[in-house]
Structure 1
Amino acid sequence: MEDPATEFELMTVVGMLYFLEAGCDIVVLEVGLGGRMDSTNVIPAPEVAVITNIGLEHTRELGDTLAQIATEKSGILKSGCDAVLYHQSGEVEEVILAACRHQGIPLTLTNPEGLRVLESGRDGQTFTYRDRGAFHISLLGRYQLYNAATALEVAAALVRRGWKISEEAVRQGLRAAVWPARMELARRNPDVLLDGGHNPQCMGALRRSLEELYPNRKIFFLTGVLSDKDYPSMLGELLPLSKQFVTITPDSDRALSAGELAQYLRQAGAEAQPCGSVSEGIQTVLDLAQPNDVVCVCGSLYMIGEARHALGLC
C-alpha cells in the first residue's frame, strides 16, 4: 500500500464498528490531530462540536500560530450541529466564531466569570456555575474546573436538542469522572502525582495547580521528555517550583536520554539524578522525599504507564 492506514485510523474504524454493534445512543469522538483532516471527521454533522483549550502543539502539521491551529480545529464544525468553545485567547475565539457564523451554527462560550469555587483540596473541588447550584469533581487542578464548565455547557446543548439528561445525572457524572495521568493523586505520604502533560501549556497548568494545592511544600520531579518537544520551555515552567529532579528515558525512539536531560537541568541550576528505568526512578525519588513532601511524575505520557505499574496501580 502506498498510503497505509495509521494506528489511529485503524483504532477509529474499530471503534466505529464497536459503537455500531453496541447500539450506542451517544458517542464521544475525540479528534486525534487537528480536526479538518482527522479520521474522526468522516461523520456527518455531530450533535455538538466541542473545541477545548488550544495550544501550540503539532505545529508542523497544523501551523505555527494559534489562529492557524484554530482554523484546522474548526473543520469539525458542520451545519446542523451546536458548538461549544472553551473560553480562551481572542485570536482563537475570533476564528471559531467566524466559522460558526459561516456555517450558521449556534455557539456557546464557557463563561469563566460564571464559575465560583466553593472548596478545593486533595479530595477534589466543589464549585457553582451560572447559578446552577453546587457541583463536585474529584479531579485536581484549577483547569479541570473550566473543563467541567465546558462539559456542563455540552450537556445543556444536548438538552436543548431534545436529549433527556437530568440535572442529577449531570452531577453524578461530574462526581464520578476520573482522568488518569492528569494531576492524578496516586499515593499519599508523600503525595505522588502523575501528569502526562508534554508541552509548555500543560506544564504551565501543572505549575499553577501545584502552587495552589501545595504552597510551601518541597516538590521533587521525576521527569522524562521527547527530544522533539519544546522541553526547555516545559522545564522552565517547573524550575521555579523545585531544583530537585530525577530523570528517565521515556520508551520512545524520539526520547531525550535521561543523561542528556539531567545535564540540561544541571546547567539550568537544578540537581538532577539520571536513572536507567522508570521503576528505578520511582524508587529513587521516593527515597529522596519525606512524608510531607510532594513527588510529581511528568513530562511524557510514554512514561506514565510504567510509573503506574511501579507504584502498584496496575
Structure 2
Amino acid sequence: MEKIQNDPPVLIDGAHNPNAINGLVESIARLHEPEKLIIIVGFLKDKQYYQCVDRLLDLPATFIITSLDNHERALPSGDLMQTFQDDPKSYQNLLIQANSIAEAVEQARKVQMDQKAIVIGTGSFYLINKIAIAWKQTG
C-alpha cells in the first residue's frame, strides 16, 4: 500500500486477486472508520474478480467502479458494476459507475469533499498507477 496524498489521505494498493484483496480488507478494517471510505476499483477480466468484489463488499464504503482505460484485458465498468449489484452484500454500499479512470478520480474527489473520507484505489497495478497520475494532475 502506498500513500499518494496525506490530507485527506489517498492510498493505492495493487491487490488484484482474492488473497491480496482479503489482506487489504483486513488492513482497512483494523485501521479505518468504515463510514468514511471511498474505494476506486477496476479489474482485468481474466482475474477472479467475483471473489474480490464479494470480499470488498464486507467494507461499508462508497465504491467508484471503473475500467482500465484502453487496456485489452480490462473488465468493462458496466460488467463490474453488475457484479457489485448482483452481490447480496451491496445493499449497504453506495455504488458509482465511472467510465474512465479520470472520471473515477473526479467522482472520488467530490465524494471525499462531502465526507472527508479516505480514498483507496485497488484492483490492478495498471489501475493504481493511472489513479496516482490522475490524482496528482487534478490536485
1:311 aligns with 2:124: no
1:259 aligns with 2:78: yes
The Cα of 1:188 is off from its aligned counterpart by 3.0
1:213-232 matches, cutoff 5 A? 213-232=31-50
Residues 189 and 291 in structure 1, CA contact (< 8 A), matched pair in contact too: no
Unaligned runs of 5+ in 1: 1-182
- 2:121 and 2:43 map into 1 onto residues whose CA distance is 11
Question: Equivalent pairs: percent with the same residue?
Answer: 29
1:63-82 matches, cutoff 5 A? none
* 1:302 aligned partner, one-letter code: Y
More helix by share: 2
RMSD: 1.8
What's the counterpart of residue 58 of structure 1? none
Residues 223 and 299 in structure 1, CA contact (< 8 A), matched pair in contact too: yes
- 1:243 and 1:257 map into 2 onto residues whose CA distance is 21
Q: TM-score, normalised by structure 2?
A: 0.84
Residues 263 and 272 in structure 1, CA contact (< 8 A), matched pair in contact too: no
- 1:216 and 1:195 map into 2 onto residues whose CA distance is 17
Larger radius of gyration: 1
* 2:83 aligned partner, one-letter code: Y
The Cα of 1:272 is off from its aligned counterpart by 2.0
Q: TM-score, normalised by structure 1?
A: 0.39
Match of 1:202 among 20, 25, 28: 20
Residues 218 and 293 in structure 1, CA contact (< 8 A), matched pair in contact too: yes
Residues 57-82 of structure 1 show CA distances to partners (whole Å, capped at 9, x for unaligned) of xxxxxxxxxxxxxxxxxxxxxxxxxx
- 2:101 and 2:19 map into 1 onto residues whose CA distance is 24
- 2:34 and 2:49 map into 1 onto residues whose CA distance is 25
Count of residues paired in the alignment = 131
- 1:231 and 1:216 map into 2 onto residues whose CA distance is 22
Structure 1 moving runs of 4+ over 4 Å: none
Residues 193 and 297 in structure 1, CA contact (< 8 A), matched pair in contact too: yes
Residues 1:215 and 1:275: Cα distance change in structure 2 (over 3 Å) = closer
The Cα of 1:245 is off from its aligned counterpart by 1.1
Residues 1:216 and 1:271: Cα distance change in structure 2 (over 3 Å) = closer
Match of 1:244 among 27, 39, 62: 62
